[in-house]
């Protein structure tokens, strides 16, 4: 069932932006500076940059604040406007923006669709009834994880915003292309003026941190890749050593090893080793200096990987000679 969310305490803004070809690196560096500036504002809880994917054609930036008032102060600030004036050279057209407030976080938000509607005040009741009809139908599709509906926010956003989540791109696509969805859309012809964006959170369930009862957004793709490397190296080497006495053919060894490493990474290595070890780098405090945080985090990564390399060098050359 759709959960309707009025303006509440915590507030999140989702900004989509097309970037000019060839200027992606410059845009990302600029956006990191913008996020660092946002971190200095009252109520800042976190920010996330997501690169385009096959599901998500735009760059997506998400800011989370502890209240609508604090979010509004940042969105309308002179500081942000100065950054936007400087960053226009990287942007290909105007950005899109949706604000949600008081929503919940799912433990594995793999695919989230954000839909915004402009609704005439006289049509609100009909719109809510139509949304309930839409929710009834999409909830029967495999992989559906839930829907949240957010009212407009005075002074910040005029549109109604709906979030709905599926556990995979395939299940989402099955709903988006279904005859049943087309039928419901036709029933709500007066609400045909809408915008839709898909947000793809890869590795979402591998990076779930909770602090003060709130789940944090996943880290950047660069940090994600490095963190996976930190966990994957010892996992794969230890599995290789464990399977070596069986003298399996290469194809079978890799088949079994890859299956086991996937389970070990998901249920042991990431939640009990990598996430606690790199917690303050993957999810720094809002007031932590970004440069120092990255320096300390990368230093810790380097130290850990040198340690594992030294251990496995000694094990495989001095203690255990692989066949």
Same domain, 159 and 254: no
CATH number at 142 reads 3.30.70.100
Rounded CA gap, 146 and 163, in Å?
A: 8
| pLDDT of the residue at 289 | 82
| pTM beyond 0.85 | no
Rounded CA gap, 311 and 315, in Å?
A: 6
| pLDDT of the residue at 255 | 92
Same domain, 200 and 230: no
* Last residue in a domain, options 171, 206, 241: 206
Same domain, 103 and 237: no
Residues of the chain with pLDDT under 70: 1-9, 101-110, 155-156, 197, 199-218, 285-287, 321-323
Same domain, 14 and 136: yes
Same domain, 147 and 237: no
The answer as to whether 194 is a domain residue is yes
Same domain, 194 and 84: yes
Domain coverage including residue 198 = 3-206
The answer as to whether 58 is a domain residue is yes
Same domain, 280 and 304: yes
Same domain, 31 and 165: yes
User: Quick one: which of 303, 307, 286 has its CA closest to 295?
Assistant: 303
What angle do the packed helices 250-264 and 221-243 form, to 10 degrees? Answer: 130
Handedness of CA 304, 305, 310, 311 (dihedral sign): positive
| pLDDT of the residue at 215 | 43
The answer as to whether 74 is a domain residue is yes
The answer as to whether 214 is a domain residue is no
| pLDDT of the residue at 167 | 77
| pLDDT of the residue at 217 | 53
| pLDDT of the residue at 218 | 59
Same domain, 51 and 144: yes
Q: Could you tell me the CA-to-CA distances from 296 to 62, 217, 280 in Å, in that order? A: 25, 21, 9
| pLDDT of the residue at 211 | 43
Name the 3-class secondary structure at 137.
Answer: helix
Beta bridge partners of 196: 115
Could you give the number of structural domains in the chain? 2
Query: 104 — phi, psi (to 5°)?
Result: -100, 165
Q: How many CB atoms lie within 10 A of CB 68?
A: 22
Rounded CA gap, 167 and 173, in Å?
A: 11
Same domain, 124 and 228: no
Same domain, 253 and 183: no
pLDDT per position as a tens digit, 275-293: 889 988 987 766 678 888 8
Report angle CA 229, 19, 201 to the nearest 5 degrees. 40
* Last residue in a domain, options 174, 206, 238: 206
| pLDDT of the residue at 200 | 62
């Amino acid at each position: 069932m759709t959960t309707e969310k009025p303006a509440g305490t915590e507030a999140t803004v989702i900004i989509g932006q097309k970037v000019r070809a060839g200027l992606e690196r410059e845009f990302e560096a600029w956006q990191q500076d913008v996020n660092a500036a946002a971190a200095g504002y009252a109520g800042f809880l976190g920010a996330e940059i997501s690169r385009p994917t096959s599901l998500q054609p735009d760059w997506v930036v998400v800011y989370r604040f502890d209240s609508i008032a604090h979010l509004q102060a940042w969105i309308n600030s002179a500081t942000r406007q100065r950054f936007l004036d400087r960053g226009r050279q990287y942007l290909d057209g105007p950005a899109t923006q949706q604000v949600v407030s008081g929503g919940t976080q799912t433990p594995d938000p793999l695919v989230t669709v954000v839909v915004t509607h402009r609704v005439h005040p006289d049509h609100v009741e009909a719109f809510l009834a139509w949304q309930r009809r839409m929710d009834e139908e999409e909830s029967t599709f495999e992989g559906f994880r839930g829907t949240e509906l957010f009212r407009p926010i005075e002074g910040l956003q005029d549109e109604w915003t709906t979030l709905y989540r599926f556990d995979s791109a395939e299940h989402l696509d099955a709903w988006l292309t279904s005859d049943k969805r087309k039928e419901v859309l036709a029933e709500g012809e007066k609400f045909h003026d809408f915008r839709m964006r898909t947000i793809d959170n890869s590795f979402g369930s591998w990076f779930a941190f909770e602090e003060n009862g709130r789940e944090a957004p996943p880290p950047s793709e660069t940090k994600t890749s490095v963190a996976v490397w930190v966990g994957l190296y010892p996992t794969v080497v230890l599995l290789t050593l464990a399977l070596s006495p069986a003298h399996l053919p290469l194809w079978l060894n890799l088949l079994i090893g890859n299956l086991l490493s996937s389970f070990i990474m998901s249920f042991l290595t990431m939640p009990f080793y990598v996430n606690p070890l790199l917690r303050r780098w993957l999810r720094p405090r809002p007031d932590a200096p970004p440069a120092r945080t990255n320096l300390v985090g990368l230093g810790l990564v380097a130290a850990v990987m040198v340690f594992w390399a030294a251990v496995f060098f000694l094990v495989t050359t001095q203690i255990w000679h692989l066949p």
